[in-house]
Amino acid sequence: MTRRLRCLLYCQHLSGAGHYVRTFEIARALAEAHEVHLIDGGRPVPRSSTGLLPRLIPLPRIARGPGGLGALDSTHPIRAVLDERLALLLAAVDEIRPEILLVEHFPFSKWELAGEIVPMIERARSVSANVKICCSLRDIAPPTRFDVAGDYRARVLEALHSCFHALLVHSDPRLFRLEEHVPWADSIRIPIRYTGYVSEKPNSAQDVSIGDDELSSGLVIVSNAGTGRSGLGAIAMRAWQLLRSSGDVSGVRRLVVFGSLSAQVAELAAEPTSAADGSILVREFAADFLSWMQHADLSISQAGYNTCANVLETRVRAILAPEAETSDQPARARRLAERGLAQVFDAGTITAERLAAAIRAALAGPKPIHDYDLDGAFQTGQILEQLASEDRRLAEPI
């Protein structure tokens, strides 16, 4: 029987919700057999309350804005907020004495937070000599405009080799390999393990806010649940009215538009098309989003990690409009399109007319078929259990 481990998961989402959602699913899977603590210090993200859940460790909430890092729930200067976060984080490490420390995306990004991440790692090593420290990385991880200036490669390698025991890549290597976006991946000297995609699983016991009349209406759902910058929801509403006026979608079909974490649902509801004939529903970003997608005939979204994992999980028809300025979305959308799993548009140039034509074509086509590995949360747990049973020492710093 696997020994029960004390696990601490550090994740800090600064813009969208993707990093947190992925880490929460890993934490939920680990909680089936282990004591799991999850740092919670960004914009609140709705999650399903079903099943065994991690213990959340609240930190003062921060996010990234036009001027850099800023506090979400404090009027204090950001430096004071970061100092408070660090003190709370170190106290949590002292209390938990983790045997597993999973750090999301650093050192491939989040260098703005190195002042709390590195001390957290050092404290974990001082209070628990056998702690295993792993980097948790999404499928596509090129540097972004927010990453540290200077020799990015050297600083990432130094941090990996001096602080971490393993690098876990949450991808199916048949879809994306690390070296495609990290060309110097062969210089990484710690073990690299692919986990498969971390995909939320449908749950019949999940709290679902879908009515029977909505389930029978042939749903098309729209989501830009991260930043909401693209205006995709409003464009989809106008496209839907074009299809309705031309008779290309029947009276029973409905378009369901989910707001983002940062956008106000009232803004979408105020769109002239939103209440024109009752065929468009507006919803807040919800913990039961996967259930909506499971019942949908078509998903329209950007191409964030979690939404694409949902698309793969439910095998729903998909239209993707990635944000060009993100480091991962365009490449992910292109690859899914190459594999026949989605249609793709540039979020900056998409129009209601073009989207209407894409919706018409997608609804007339078959559902996608694939066999990609979507058990990343479970397999992450297996890898961590294996590491915890080994007496592996860190490599010398480069």
Which has the higher per-residue pLDDT, 16 or 274? 16
What span, in angstroms and rounded, lies between the C-alpha atoms of 284 and 361?
Answer: 28
Report pTM. Answer: 0.90
pLDDT per residue over 81-125, tens digit each?
Answer: 999 999 999 999 999 999 999 999 999 999 999 999 999 999 999
What span, in angstroms and rounded, lies between the C-alpha atoms of 10 and 164?
Answer: 14
Statement: residue 211 has pLDDT above 90: no
Report domain extents, the chain.
Answer: 6-199+375-388, 212-364
Per CATH, domain 212-364 is 3.40.50.2000: yes
Statement: residue 147 has pLDDT above 80: no
Per CATH, domain 6-199+375-388 is 3.40.50.2000: yes
Residues 384, 134 contacting (CB under 8 angstroms): yes
User: For position 18, what pLDDT does the model report?
Assistant: 85
pLDDT per residue over 218-273, tens digit each?
Answer: 899 998 755 455 689 999 999 999 999 999 887 788 999 998 765 555 555 555 55
pLDDT per residue over 339-358, tens digit each?
Answer: 999 999 988 889 999 999 99
Strands (E), 131-184: 132-137, 166-169
Contacts 24+ apart (CB under 8 A), 352-355: 352/235, 352/238, 352/239, 352/242, 353/239, 353/242, 355/235, 355/236, 355/239, 355/300, 355/319
pLDDT per residue over 368-379, tens digit each?
Answer: 999 999 999 999
Residues 6+ apart with CB under 8 A from 34: 4, 5, 6, 7, 100, 381
